[in-house]
Homo-oligomer: A and B are copies of this chain.
């Protein structure tokens, strides 16, 4: 599979007093790519929930390579690294198109769970 890619613009509220994107928001960019990926497939988290299935995260990791600043245009790439019977392992890369630098890379592991 090719990577799935979305572009986002960094918003003011995502920055912190160091005038860069707060480190926790990169995980939110990851999740935004995941949401758009499911939309592209015609699924969404809610349609999954109709089957009483939910995808809680069990692990998340990010390496920060170069900061993003307000109004930078960034591209988030998602790839499926592994699918097991009950888990899915996403890999993510964030490229800062404004600076031309790779900004971050990380992964998230989600599992299929019944909603109780």
Q: Which residues of A contact B (CB under 8 A)?
A: 9, 11-13, 15-20, 22-25, 27-28, 31-32, 35-36, 39, 44-46, 54, 56-64, 67, 69-71
Please, how many angstroms separate the alpha-carbon atoms of A67 and B56 in the complex? 9
Cβ-defined partner of A13 (8 Å) among B24, B59, B71: B24
CB of A32 within 8 A of CB of B11, answer yes
Tell me which of A20, A23, A46, A62 has the highest count of chain B C-beta atoms within 10 A of its own C-beta.
A23
CB of A20 within 8 A of CB of B56, answer yes
Please, how many angstroms separate the alpha-carbon atoms of A45 and B71 in the complex? 9
Please, how many angstroms separate the alpha-carbon atoms of A24 and B17 in the complex? 15
Give chain B nearest CB distance to A3 CB in angstroms: 20
Give chain B nearest CB distance to A9 CB in angstroms: 8
CB<8 Å pairs between A and B, sample of 23:
A9-B36, A9-B39, A11-B31, A12-B16, A12-B35, A13-B16, A13-B24, A13-B31, A15-B16, A17-B17, A17-B20, A18-B54, A23-B56, A23-B57, A23-B60, A24-B24, A35-B71, A39-B71, A45-B71, A46-B70, A59-B61, A59-B62, A60-B62
